[in-house]
Amino acid sequence: MVNKMYKISSEQPRGSKHNQVLMSIVVCMPILAYGTAMGWISPNKALLMGPSSPSDTPLTEEDVSWMASIMFIFAPVAVFIFGVAADKFGRKKALLCASFPISLGWAVKLMSAHPIALIGARALIGFGAGGGFVVCPLYVKEISEDSIRGMTGTFVIFSQTMGNLLVFILGDLLQFNTALWILLAIPLIHFCILLRLPETPSYLIKCGRSEESAKVLGWLRSVPATDESISQEMERLIIEQKTCDPKFAPKLLFSDKTALKAFWVALIVNLTREFCGCIAVLVYASHIFAEAGKDPDTSIALSPNKQSILLAAVQIFGSFLACQLVDRAGRKPLLAVTSAVAGFSMCLLGVWFYLQSVGVALPGWVPIVALCACIFADASGLQPLPFVIMTEMFSFQLRGTVATLIMAISLGTDFALLKLFAPLNSWIGYHSTFWIFSAICLSNVFYLIFCVPETKMRNLEDIYADLEGKKRRRKDEAVVETNHV
């Protein structure tokens, strides 16, 4: 199987990166499936709760809130299970296993639209997606060379945003079951293609299969396996495996006071992103637009679903912009600016809903602009940068442990947020809910300024010195040493 792929590479230009890029796109298809599942409720909520519901009886708000949140109960469990499986059985096998529950979830939706069936189906999809979020970044990192690792690393978030856009379009244009067939095809196609792709070179070396690892590297880099560059990369991978064993080791993290402080900083930054309200906006986008468009005198011509499509398109543009700005503007300034934009956007949205509730009419484009600004800020900073900061604040040995813990906690908070979003709106109103999101985002700006160190182009020693408050002392010591000389 692998030999057939090497024949393909011989026809490509020497040193081509095509195989790495294409393979990274295929590998991230479970995240694409997650994006479609996360956004699926938005275009289908009105149908499921209406008189023409494909279910025997229309769904209730309680049913929908469980459908929205259930994915995030099982995803944290999957994070730990698939993390161990990827290390023990290989990245490829773990990723194949992730596609199975996702496929089964969409198949269950096709067979039954009963509320319990839909909730169970989304639990299966959440379990598979949780595994995908652990294995996909790892797989992509290990097949990509340094010169394109930043670009291929963004495919994870980009795949999620593409999934959001795809499901909004399918929900607006196609019948309920037709869209489900297409969504089922995504994990099935991923499974079939991945069967033909090799294991990552790093894992093959770990298993003592150095010759096969060299062949896979040659195919990925589009050069012969005997090329000098492949030999050099093999030596580097072997040294990396010997000097560092990045296993899940929470005891090692909690025994280091500075690393533990860095962990809390990274966790708070990530949780702020979860509670800024953007994920709730994406899941309930059509419903929010429908609520905003109840007054025919202020609503605009676009249907709620088409407004949601606009929202997803803005999200994709934001994720592209993040790739361009993150290494230029720095992590901390970009994250602070996007957090402020999201905060003011949520505040404006709350004002709009409040004025609507007291009978004051405002133009229908106001909630659209506010939501687009919020989602743009999320995609261009709030979503990708906390993960970047997290990886740059820890050594290679602790990075996997921190990522697993923070991802599990973040997915758990997503469950709480989505489960409480609809009841909270009924209890205190949309305006108060959005004002809470706004307060969290704006508070995050001050936390970023005073508590979070810049990580761009800085080593761990300098970052940890900032965390310990030693920056001034280090500078004073340098001045003393200079004068002494």
| 474 & 391 share domain | yes
Which residue, of 194, 227, 243, is where some domain finishes? 243
| 319 & 193 share domain | no
Residue with tokens 């991230």: 28
| 106 & 198 share domain | yes
pLDDT digits (tens), the chain, 485 positions: 444 444 444 444 456 788 888 898 899 999 999 999 988 988 888 889 988 889 888 898 888 888 888 888 888 888 888 888 887 888 899 999 999 999 999 999 999 999 999 999 999 999 999 888 888 888 887 888 877 766 676 777 788 888 988 998 998 889 999 999 999 999 999 999 999 889 988 888 888 888 888 898 888 888 887 778 888 888 888 876 666 666 667 888 888 888 888 899 889 988 888 888 877 777 677 667 776 666 555 555 566 667 778 877 887 888 777 766 666 677 788 888 989 999 999 999 889 889 888 877 777 778 888 888 888 888 888 877 787 777 678 775 677 778 778 878 887 888 888 778 878 888 888 889 899 999 999 999 999 888 888 877 777 788 888 888 754 444 444 444 444 44
Which residue, of 243, 278, 296, is where some domain finishes? 243
Structure tokens at 80: 């730990």
What local confidence, expressed as pLDDT, does residue 33 receive? 93
Domain total in the chain? 2
Residue with tokens 């909630």: 367
| 284 & 233 share domain | no
Nearest C-alpha neighbor of 268 from the set 418, 406, 421, 110: 406
Alpha-helical (H) ranges within 222-330 are 228-243, 250-254, 257-274, 278-283, 285-292, 304-329
| 64 & 18 share domain | yes
Determine the straight-line distance between the first and last CA of the chain, rounded to whole angstroms: 65
| 343 & 465 share domain | yes
CA distance 346 to 273: 13
Which residue, of 243, 258, 278, is where some domain finishes? 243
| 334 & 361 share domain | yes
Q: Which amino acid is at 141?
A: K
> pTM score, two decimals?
0.75
| 216 & 286 share domain | no
| 464 & 372 share domain | yes
What local confidence, expressed as pLDDT, does residue 485 receive? 44
| 313 & 210 share domain | no
| 30 & 93 share domain | yes
CA distance 259 to 271: 18
* Domain extent for 116: 1-243
- The CATH number that applies at residue 455 is 1.20.1250.20
CA distance 302 to 271: 33
| 400 & 458 share domain | yes
